Structure 1
Amino acid sequence: MCRRFLPIVLVLVFCVGLKPAVVVSPSDNYGRIDSYARNAPDSYSRNIATLSDYLTGPARTDMDKVRVIYAWMVSHIRYDQEAVSNRSSQRYYSELEYANRVLRQRKGLCTGYALLFKYLLKRAGIESVNIRGYARTEDKEAGNPIKLVDHEWNAVNIEDEWYLLDLAWAVTTAPTGEASNDFYFLTPPELFISQHFPTETRWQFLDQPLNKGEFDRFPKLYDPYFQLGFGPGFPRDGQLRVQGRAALTLQNEQSLEYLCTVSRFGQSKGSEVPVSVSRYGNQHQLQVNVPIRGWSTLHIFARSRTNARVKKYDCIASFSVYNS
């Protein structure tokens, strides 16, 4: 089963071998490709062959083919929230049958996105695999074992380089008014591993692969963590045992403002709590008051320092905290 999650945002108003790829960031160069995909006539989407041929016909490179198929899918296939609790709707007789069903119904879950993407690329002559594994989607999973293999995503081979993508998360975490969150398009492996753990080690694409126990200890990281400039050196322990105050060290070259909330364990809505921040070079040391005894969930929000009147904080991480 694939579980959908949404990013948490606070807005405050003030009177003031398998060779992994190098990092490739989405850019404005995709604008024309994305527009072509979004405006594809429905008459070409009756089957995988005609759709793939239409989308990739003008493409000059394999990267263009991958992008145009991704752009069509995130703008035309919706996440089927109703099917999350309906296991019978997720059954399929073959991968190709399921991919065709998703294309026909214009909706699917993570497996549907992964398989349709795979077969559209196969028609275009590009190797792609669907990868099963564990995904950290809920705050209660911060620092705790994830027991079920409940997610599926893709790796794609572009000119002998492997890249990672998660189309389902690109759709479900898209900012309001946008078709996708492109953080999950060609995500660097060292960032992707923070919330995705494949059942087969080779699909980590890391020089030093992690084991499941290491992955289970990670906090819940939201993609704004990386978009704000935090790197792969994120805290490795998502469980904090404290006595009234939690101490965290984050690494970022930028000057940031922080806001913290504490809620009952596993809940997303909490109460703002005092936080003090000391910075030493790229080290941001946070001291956070934790008023709840026993287990609770600590959310860390951050924003770049600006003079904007409306201050929008994005949730970057959550931790499971035990206050004795």
Structure 2
Amino acid sequence: MKIKKITILFLFINAIFLHFSYSQEYNAIDKIILKYPKHFSSTEILAERIEKDFSTEHDKARAIYSWIALNIKYDYKSYLNPAKPIRFSYRNEAEKQKQIESLKDKTWQKAFDSQKAVCEGFTLLYQHLASLVGLKSEVIRGDSKRLLSDIGRQNSQSNHAWNIVQIDRKWILVDATWGQGYYDSNKKAMVNYFNSVYFDTDPKYFFAKHFPDSGVYLNEKLNKEDFLNGPLIFDATIEGDNEILSPNSGIIEANDGDKITFRIKNISKTDTLFYLKKGRPAKIENPREVRGALEFQVTYDKKMGSYITFFLYQNSIASFKIIPK
């Protein structure tokens, strides 16, 4: 049988429009993991080490995330040259499932041994290690949102994979692939840069950047239109809890000279917030603080182009698509 091939795409930030810098921080669990060997002879030995050093379900789940994000590199060459679809035959459902499980085992084992993978390898390795330390984890496949061109995209795509893991009877969201680094378009290479914001991510932020193929999370239906048409948010947005309160869409209709009102959570008037106008930073004028958020207006100039991105200090936090009325 021909398995439907999962196209593993890793979508990247467009550096022509966007600049980003993350504060690479490690918590107590990460600092322990940093002392681990970069490679273990087996997943069982790694799991035993984690169980020895950590006692709670949360700490074990975080330790697995951190080890993978710190030691498995994104395989950009495989992303550019994906493997051919795998075919196999079976006589009954039990044999089919056995074949599928065998393929999954080969995928996580290859990721562990070679220390490089695309998202399928990251997620299956996470699920496998979680099972070894007694945690329930599932692989979720779906769409991802990382580019300006994703704002207002017409259809969702199955181009990414992530995990959910159960901690103290509660499921949390985990994306170890995005935790390991980012693509530098200037160097045309992956940069390993540990980022913890994709462990136990708040669903309101996670599903602004991910949409499961099922359209459902924990038996609750998600809004695909909100995902496709919402603003593009960034890692710094999640880290700073900078929720976009207004406008409620990432697509803004405006003519030249129109004033557009924005409201973003957890930003004060003393913070350095700006956008690009004619290729130069433009400061926000006359902002006001409203119930824990910064409210301000931007006068749209068609010379700004089709997108407007806001930066908090050096971090991009939100992008919107501007279309003429």
TM-score by length of 2: 0.78
- 2:151 is matched with which residue? 142
Amino acid at match of 1:247: I
- 1:60 is matched with which residue? 55
Q: In the TM superposition, what are the counterparts of 1:1-324 in structure 2 within 5 Å?
A: 1-6=8-13, 8-9=18-19, 30-31=27-28, 33-41=29-37, 45-88=40-83, 94-173=103-182, 179-203=193-217, 209-231=221-243, 233=245, 235-244=247-256, 245-255=258-268, 256-261=271-276, 270-273=279-282, 275-282=284-291, 283-292=293-302, 296-303=306-313, 313-323=314-324
- Is the CA contact 1:239–1:319 (under 8 Å) kept in the aligned structure 2? yes
CA distance in 2, matches of 1:213, 1:59: 41
CA distance in 2, matches of 1:90, 1:59: 39
Q: Which has the higher mean CA deviation after the structures are superposed, 45-54 or 77-86? A: 45-54
TM-score by length of 1: 0.78
CA distance in 2, matches of 1:127, 1:42: 25
- 2:97 is matched with which residue? none
CA distance in 1, matches of 2:239, 2:38: 34
- Is the CA contact 2:266–2:294 (under 8 Å) kept in the aligned structure 1? no
Amino acid at match of 2:234: Y
Q: Which has the higher mean CA deviation after the structures are superposed, 175-184 or 244-253? A: 175-184
The structure showing larger relative contact order (alpha-carbon pairs under 8 Å, at least 6 residues apart) is: 1
The alignment partner of 1:251 has SS state of: strand
CA distance in 1, matches of 2:231, 2:263: 12
CA distance in 2, matches of 1:192, 1:97: 29
Total equivalences in the alignment: 290
The alignment partner of 2:157 has SS state of: coil
The alignment partner of 2:248 has SS state of: coil
Q: Post-superposition shift, 1:299? A: 0.9
Q: Deviations over 1:70-106 (max 9, x none)?
A: 1211111011122221111796961111000000110
CA distance in 2, matches of 1:236, 1:5: 24
Q: Post-superposition shift, 1:179? A: 4.2
CA distance in 2, matches of 1:229, 1:291: 29
CA distance in 1, matches of 2:78, 2:104: 18
Structure 1 pair 226–64 and aligned structure 2 pair: CA distance change class (3 A): closer
Q: Percent identity?
A: 22
Structure 1 pair 234–102 and aligned structure 2 pair: CA distance change class (3 A): farther
Q: Post-superposition shift, 1:293? A: 6.3
- Is the CA contact 1:193–1:204 (under 8 Å) kept in the aligned structure 2? no
The alignment partner of 2:31 has SS state of: helix
- Is the CA contact 1:62–1:126 (under 8 Å) kept in the aligned structure 2? yes
CA distance in 2, matches of 1:186, 1:212: 22
Question: RMSD of the TM alignment (CA)?
Answer: 3.2
